[in-house]
Copies of this chain bind each other. A is one copy, B any other.
Amino acid sequence: MATHQTTIIDIARALGISKSTVSRALTGHANVNEKTRQRILDMAAQVDYQRNQLAISLLTNRTGTVGIIVPEFISFFFPKVIIGAQEEMTKSGYNVVICHSNESYETEVANAKALLASRVDGLIVSHTKETRNFDHFKVFQRKGIPVVFFNRVCEDMNVSNVTVDDYNGAFRAVEHLIQTGRRRIAHLAGPDTLTNSRNRLNGYRDALKQYGLPIDPELIIAYDLNLDKANIYVNHLLNLPQPPDALFAINDPTALEALNIAKRRGLCVPDDLAIVGFSDDPMSALIEPGLTTVAQPVNEIGQQAAYILLKQLLAKGDDFQPERIVLPTNLIIRGSTVKPRSGDL
């Protein structure tokens, strides 16, 4: 530590020139004698010179870095979104730093503060399931730093966001269950703090309504997405006097958990219990039977979030109208709802 960082002054001194010239040469400025430039570049390489981004950012009030905050990244969803976003940002010369809030409101606030303190130029975020207060994001807005939400969005902030059509995806999933003969369809929902969770629940409800099926509160359970507990709720549903003949789960991990429980209880999926998930986790195609699920264009979510952020970054102070992108979902039918006809495999 404390090993003196080589600066442009060191280079300037070593070469007997001024630091301005060094700076110009290093930043690829014109107006530098070709020979001088070469000497500077050589010397810089020789002494391991690395520009100090801190100083530059302090000066230019621009870091060239955007932050992404995600609540988790164990399931494939968030990593894929991040990759999509990162690709686009990198193309435009932005650096991306990723923060992991771990579904903790406190950590999320700390992340936001750290990113604000390090003066990121923009922020892409999907909030935790605990987040009810969005003040830590509103600060960014007030300071003119663009924010884009995705997946889980904040409805009372006037910011851009990227979502999928959760309502319609859920609707079609439940419709599919009805059309294949199910009448008692349960829904293992997410916490009502999450917009996507609420929208999926509404899609579920409306599908039942539209097909004249009763909405049985007994069959709707909202839980905190903690997989350990999914276990309890699925068993609870299956132990009901009139158990469901189908389950629409808030996401694939939950659905896969349900699928395993059903199998372990000796139920036949899809005959005794049909199951539908959400997101098309790669695991859904590997398991047996395959899991019917509502696919999301995951990579594209990240891309779109990046596009919007870039647009907003470019627009600068000008009054930028927030955009709200809704991407389509796609029902993928597999063995957990429909028996494969022989020969299909």
Copies of this polypeptide in the complex: 2
Contacts of A267 in B (CB 8 A): none
- Give the one of A73, A74, A119 with max B CB within 10 A: A73
Are A54 and B317 in contact, with the CB atoms below 8 A? no
Are B1 and A317 in contact, with the CB atoms below 8 A? yes
Are B117 and A61 in contact, with the CB atoms below 8 A? no
Are B79 and A74 in contact, with the CB atoms below 8 A? yes
Interchain CB contact (< 8 A) of A48 among B1, B119, B142: B142
Contacts of A35 in B (CB 8 A): none
Give the dominant DSSP class at A's interface: mixed
> In chain B, what residue has the closest Cβ to A142?
B48
Contacts of A95 in B (CB 8 A): 114
- Give the one of A97, A100, A260 with max B CB within 10 A: A97
Interchain CB contact (< 8 A) of A2 among B58, B113, B316, B345: B316
Interface residues in A295-313 (C-beta closer than 8 Å to B):
none
Interface residues in A45-60 (C-beta closer than 8 Å to B):
48, 50-55, 57-58
The answer to whether the Cβ of A235 comes within 8 Å of any Cβ in the partner chain is no
Interface residues in A74-110 (C-beta closer than 8 Å to B):
74, 76, 79-80, 82-83, 86, 90, 95-100, 102, 107, 110
Say whether, besides A58-B58, A283-B283, A345-B264, A118 and B74 are in contact (CB < 8 Å). Answer: no
Contacts of A80 in B (CB 8 A): 74
Interchain CB contact (< 8 A) of A61 among B5, B86, B98, B256: B5
Contacts of A17 in B (CB 8 A): none
Are A144 and B283 in contact, with the CB atoms below 8 A? no
Distance in angstroms between the alpha carbons of A267 and B143 in the assembled complex:
62
Contacts of A3 in B (CB 8 A): 143-144, 317
Minimal beta-carbon separation of A63 from chain B (angstroms)? 8
Say whether, besides A74-B76, A102-B83, A317 and B117 are in contact (CB < 8 Å). Answer: no
Are A118 and B1 in contact, with the CB atoms below 8 A? no
Minimal beta-carbon separation of A240 from chain B (angstroms)? 24
Contacts of A144 in B (CB 8 A): 1-3
Are B2 and A317 in contact, with the CB atoms below 8 A? yes
The answer to whether the Cβ of A32 comes within 8 Å of any Cβ in the partner chain is no
Are A117 and B83 in contact, with the CB atoms below 8 A? no
Distance in angstroms between the alpha carbons of A147 and B193 in the assembled complex:
40
Interchain CB contact (< 8 A) of A50 among B54, B96, B110, B116: B116
Interface residues in A253-277 (C-beta closer than 8 Å to B):
256, 260, 264
Are A54 and B118 in contact, with the CB atoms below 8 A? yes
Show the binding face of A for B, using Cβ within 8 Å: 1-3, 5, 48, 50-55, 57-58, 61, 63, 65, 73-74, 76, 79-80, 82-83, 86, 90, 95-100, 102, 107, 110, 113-114, 116-119, 139, 142-144, 256, 260, 264, 283, 286-288, 316-317, 345
- 13 more A-B residue pairs beyond the given contacts A3-B143, A86-B100, with a C-beta to C-beta distance below 8 A: A1-B144, A1-B317, A2-B61, A2-B316, A50-B116, A52-B58, A53-B118, A54-B63, A74-B76, A83-B102, A97-B99, A256-B286, A283-B286
Q: List 9 A-B contacts (CB under 8 A).
A: A1-B317, A48-B143, A50-B116, A52-B119, A55-B58, A63-B118, A65-B118, A73-B79, A97-B97
